[in-house]
Structure 1
Amino acid sequence: MHFSDSKTKENLMRAFAGESQARNRYLFSAGQAKSAKLHVVQSAFEYTADQERAHAKVFYNHLKTFAGENICVDGCYPVDIYEDIVKLLRAAQHNEYQEYEHEYATFAKIAREEGFPAIAYSFSSIAAIEKTHGDRFGQFADLIEQDKLFKDDQEVEWLCLNCGHIHKATSAPQMCPVCLHPQGFFIRLSLSPFQ
C-alpha cells in the first residue's frame, strides 16, 4: 500500500494531535497542582507532559514525506477540566490506558497490515509507555485518596525535589530542613525517576 493512501497516515496525525493535546492538559493540571501546593504532583504532570511532547515528535516525524500538505482527520479528545486533583489524576490515568489498550494497539495492527513495520513499532512502543503513564497517575491518585501522599505506616525515604535532601521517617517533614521548601516538594524516593 502507498503511504499517501494509508489509514496509517491518518492514524499518525490522530496520534500527533492526541499527544499534543495530552501535553497541554497535563500542563494545565500541573498548574492546578501548583496552586494546591502539591509540587510533587505538579512535577509528575510536567514530567509526563515532556514525554507526551516526545511522543508527538515521533509521530510527526513519520509524516515528513507530507511536508507542506494538510492531513484532515476526525477525532474525539477528552475535556478534563476539574478542580479536584484526584479527578485530574484519574482522568489522566483513564486516557493513558485508553491509548495503551485501544488506540495505539489498533494503530500498530493497522500499520503492520499496511506494510509499515517501523511505524507499527513506534505505536507499540509508545503504547507501552502510555501504560506506565497511567500507572503513575493512578499511583498518585491512590496515595492522595489513602492520605498517604506524605505519610506511610512504616518508615520510608522521602526526597525533597528542590534540593535532594533525603529524610527517613513515616512522614515527609512539613518543611525541608535543608532548603526550607514545604512538604509538597517531597516524594517517596521509590517514586523518584532518579534515585
Structure 2
Amino acid sequence: MSTDFQTSETKTNLMRAFAGESQARNRYDFAAKAAGEQKLYVVEAAFRFTAKQEQAHAKVFYDHLKAFDGTDIAADGGYPVNLTASVAGLLRYAAENERKEHDEVYAAFAETAQREGFLKVAADFRNIAAIEQLHGERFTKFAELIESGKLFIADAECAWMCLNCGHVQTTKAAPELCPVCGHDRGFFIRLAMTPWGVEKG
C-alpha cells in the first residue's frame, strides 16, 4: 500500500533534491566564472555544461511536487560551501559532492520512494544518480589533468578542438593560439572529452 504523498518522506526528499540541484547549478556557475578568470576556458565550459544538466535535474524533482502548488515544504539539509580560489580544488570539491549524491543521498532517497510506493520517483532518483556519477568522473578527469600539468599536453598525438570556432587539429599539445580564430590555448579540449566529439573510423 502506498504512503500518502502529503505525509511522505519522499515529498521532503524531493524538495531537498530540488534545493541541492539548484545550489549545484549556482556553485558550478560560480566555479565557471573562476575558471574563466584564470583563462581555463575549457574548464569554464565544462562547469557551465554540467550546471545546465543540474538545472534539468532540479526541474525533474520540482515537477513531482505539482500537488503542493502554492504551499511551502520545509526541508532541512546540509549543503556544501566550496569557495577555494584553486580551479583544481573546485573540481575536486564538485567531484566529491557528485559522489555523495550518487553513493549516498539519491540511493537513500530512491530506496525510500520505492518503499513508499512512488516508483517513478524512485526511478528518477536512480537515473539521476547515475548521471551524477558521470559528472563526478568528468570533474575528476579535469582535476587530474590540471594537477599533472597535462590539461593542454597529451602523452601522444590526439585531436584537439577549439571551443570557440570548432577548429580541430591533431598534435601532442594544444596550440598556443587557434590558427583559425586566434583564441588562446585555454579554449582547446581533447576532442575525445567533448560530449559532441565524433571518432573517425
Answer whether TM exceeds 0.5 for this pair: yes
Write out aligned runs for 1:169-184 (5 A).
169-184=171-186
How much does 1:189 deviate? 0.3
Q: What letter corresponds to residue 135 of structure 2 in structure 1?
A: H
SS of the aligned residue for 2:85 comes to coil
Q: Which runs of 5+ in 1 are unaligned?
A: none
Aligned twin of 2:140? 138
How much does 1:152 deviate? 1.1
TM-score, normalised by the number of residues in structure 1:
0.99
Aligned twin of 2:93? 91
SS of the aligned residue for 2:48 comes to helix
How far apart are the structure 1 equivalents of 2:75 and 2:29? 25
Aligned twin of 1:26? 28
How far apart are the structure 1 equivalents of 2:9 and 2:65? 13
| Structure 1 vs Structure 2 CA RMSD | 0.4
Aligned twin of 2:189? 187
Q: What letter corresponds to residue 108 of structure 1 in structure 2?
A: A
SS of the aligned residue for 1:152 comes to strand
Q: Which runs of 5+ in 2 are unaligned?
A: none
Identity across the alignment (%): 55
Q: Which of 153, 164, 167 is the matching residue for 1:165?
A: 167
Instruction: Give every structure 1 segment of 4 or more consecutive aligned residues whose post-TM-superposition deviation is greater than 3 Å.
Output: none
Aligned twin of 2:53? 51
How far apart are the structure 2 equivalents of 1:150 and 1:187? 7
Write out aligned runs for 1:2-151 (5 A).
2-151=4-153
List per-residue Cα deviations over 1:120-160 (Å, max 9, x = no partner).
01100000000000000000000011111000121011000
Q: What letter corresponds to residue 188 of structure 1 in structure 2?
A: R
How far apart are the structure 1 equivalents of 2:43 and 2:100? 21
How much does 1:95 deviate? 0.0
How much does 1:73 deviate? 1.2
List per-residue Cα deviations over 1:39-63 (Å, max 9, x = no partner).
1000000000000000000000000
Count of residues paired in the alignment: 195
How far apart are the structure 2 equivalents of 1:113 and 1:192? 38
